[in-house]
Amino acid sequence: MSLKIVKNFDTSFTLNSEARDILFSLLTNKTFTTQISQRLHESEIEFTDLLFQPVPYSQHTPKGMPPEFEKYHNSDEYIIINVPPNFMFQAKIFKPSRLCAIYHKVN
């Protein structure tokens, strides 16, 4: 078995407006954001409307995310979560199969 090295990975995706609206309403749902806040021991978080597709780890993407989102990974003011699979299903998003959402920690 050999490993395939990925040099370029297309991270672009588009969501139709209905899927986007459903997904954003789920990601901003008060019960969901409260649950994340409690697990993080933070007072409150807010969705930044930023989503990205995780990418394979490489020399250019050591964090498994597009380089333009690494500033959020390195910041204590933001949290990155995997979008729950049931949210993806409810919004009828099948491609890409995984997304990450960025939240801002509100103090």
Could you report the per-residue pLDDT of 10-54, keeping only the tens digit for each?
Answer: 566 788 999 999 999 999 999 999 999 999 888 899 999 999 999
The number of domains in the chain is: 1
**pLDDT given at position 18:** 96
Burial of 7 (0-12, 13-18, 19+ CB in 10 A): exposed
Whether 3 is in a domain gets the answer no
Whether 67 is in a domain gets the answer yes
Whole-number Å distance between alpha carbons of 51 and 35: 19
Domain holding 59, by residue range, is 17-106
Q: Which ranges constitute the DSSP H helices of 12-84?
A: 17-27, 30-40, 70-73
This prediction has a pTM of 0.84
Whether 5 is in a domain gets the answer no
Whether 99 is in a domain gets the answer yes
Whether 102 is in a domain gets the answer yes
Whether 4 is in a domain gets the answer no
Whether 69 is in a domain gets the answer yes
**pLDDT given at position 64:** 84
Count of C-beta atoms within a 10 Å radius of residue 97: 10
Structure tokens at 44: 């409150």
Given a cut of 80, whether residue 61 has pLDDT beyond it is no
Whether 37 is in a domain gets the answer yes
